[in-house]
Amino acid sequence: MILDEPVRGSVPPPWFWALSGIERMRALAQGQLPLPPFLRLLGIRPAHVGPGSGTYTMPANAWLWESSGAFVSPPLVEAALTGIAMTTLPPGMDVEPVTLVIDYFRPTHPQPGNLLARARVVNASRFFTFTEVEIEDPQGRQVAHGGSHARIRAIEPAPPPPPAQLRAAENPAYATPDPILRPVSGNDAPIEFWENNDGCTIMRMYADGQFVSPFQRLLALRMTEVDQGRVVSIFPGSEWFCRYSRSVASGAIAIPGGVTGWWAALTLQRPGDSLVLLEQAYRFHRPAPADGRMLRAEAVWANRPERDPVRVDVHVYDADGAVVASQHSISVIIPGAARQKRPAPEAKRILATLLFTDIVGSTEQAEQLGDARWRALLDQHRAIIRREMAQREGVEVDTAGDGFLARFDSPARALECARVVRDDVKRLGIEIRAGIHVGECELQGGKVTGIAVHIAARVQAAASPGQILVSATVKDLAIGSAVRFEDRGVHSLKGVPGEWRLYSLVG
């Protein structure tokens, strides 16, 4: 079990609280402090943090999804809201989430890329903050909205002073990737089971261990009791769930509440029906120590005898029986007869700036470093690229080995992203080559296709180590900006008709 492994990352040292809130978040985003265990477990990253606003990312892979359609997003929502609330604080102060409300707009399915959380502070006083967040899928569609009230409190005793200068944190190399980046394991109930069996029967099969969702394996969440309209689950207070203190993070406490409530609602589902989650609302009452003992969540259908909408109330208890959080969710059951299968979405033509990157000499470096050190280096390289893409509203289209494909709304954003990434990865001892092209392409299901994609790939292949090479189209669109280019002559691009004049970014 993943949670039985030694914890990766660490809770910040006491002097962390002597920094202002914005300095704390920037130190984490810039790698001057090790990431906390909870963020490493789920792959949550602060991509960009500023005063009162910022973005966080989390992989949109199948570890946090189950076949019935649920996606475990509260940890990303809460991490972004709490992190951005902290940017308002002076030294010696902390924020504690009191409420968390999430409204869902559309189902989210596993796919390449990241969920993106764009958070901002709406109001801050001496006693409370209110923050809101928008969640986008890798295709740039808004899938949820969240809001949170947090209480401001003083750190006691007063923290010791921070170091005079913060330096890059040393991250140990591991023989395996972080949990969220490993191959997904689990055996969810196939779709046809939901067509032919009622939800209560299927939930009992989960409780018996016949089916296990990937996120249950990742988070050690286990269903112990199932009746129609009622589910009980247990969840360890593991150190893996720590973030800024030795207590279980609020986003981790939200997991058993949200998932157990969803399971209880599913017990009401008839064969062929679908359950649509509309809202989850959490109240956090007290911290839960990360002492390894079990937390328990009990969910009960609250609006009998009515079926629609379905309200489920949940209480989460610590190992001593004290209520640490409460939650309610609102879902709607869609009868099978009312469902219509949508045709596959038609590809639409878009104008996009496409950026390809890869690491120079990756095969040789992998052989020299060995598998474990090379994977750790790749993780750092990917974190830098994803941070800079998110900061410039880029969309990760594909990742293969050490290569990336991203799309941007403007050449300026792609150029700046490539430049910063090229300079930042040099401190890791690696070089990249990058290629950028602007053109029309077809967008379908988050993927981009068309001749423009091939051109961008060939431009990147023509680049030298450390070089950012662009097509003449990019250069022409950058006229009037402060960006400078050098002419690199005319090239034949493999598989692309005609000859192409290419330019390299200066600086």
Q: What is the pLDDT along the chain (507 residues), one digit of tens a residue?
A: 688 899 999 999 999 999 999 999 999 888 889 999 999 999 999 888 889 998 999 988 889 887 666 678 899 999 999 999 999 999 999 999 999 999 999 888 888 778 889 999 999 999 999 999 999 988 778 899 999 999 999 999 999 999 988 888 877 888 888 999 888 888 888 888 888 899 999 999 999 999 999 999 999 999 999 999 999 999 999 999 999 999 999 999 999 999 999 999 999 999 988 889 999 999 999 999 999 999 999 999 988 766 679 999 999 999 999 999 999 999 998 887 665 555 555 667 888 899 999 999 888 888 888 877 887 888 888 888 888 888 888 888 887 778 889 999 889 899 999 999 999 989 888 999 999 999 988 887 678 888 899 899 999 999 999 999 999 999 988 877 778 999 999 998 887 888 899 999 987
Q: Are 271 and 336 a contacting pair, CB within 8 Å?
A: yes
pLDDT the model gives residue 339: 57
Structure tokens at 137: 């899928």
pLDDT the model gives residue 285: 97
Q: How many Cβ atoms sit within 10 Å of the Cβ of residue 447?
A: 17
CA distance 433 to 410: 20
| Overall pTM surpassing 0.75 (yes/no) | no
CA distance 216 to 191: 18
CA distance 83 to 46: 8
CA distance 354 to 438: 6
Structure tokens at 129: 């903050």
Q: Are 221 and 259 a contacting pair, CB within 8 Å?
A: yes
Residue spans in the chain of domains classed CATH 3.30.70.1230? 348-506
CATH superfamily of 2-156+186-338: Acyl-CoA thioesterase, double hotdog domain (2.40.160.210)
Name the residue type at position 183: P
Residue spans in the chain of domains classed CATH 2.40.160.210? 2-156+186-338
CATH, domain 348-506, list 3.30.70.1230, 3.40.50.2000, 3.40.50.150, 3.10.20.70: 3.30.70.1230
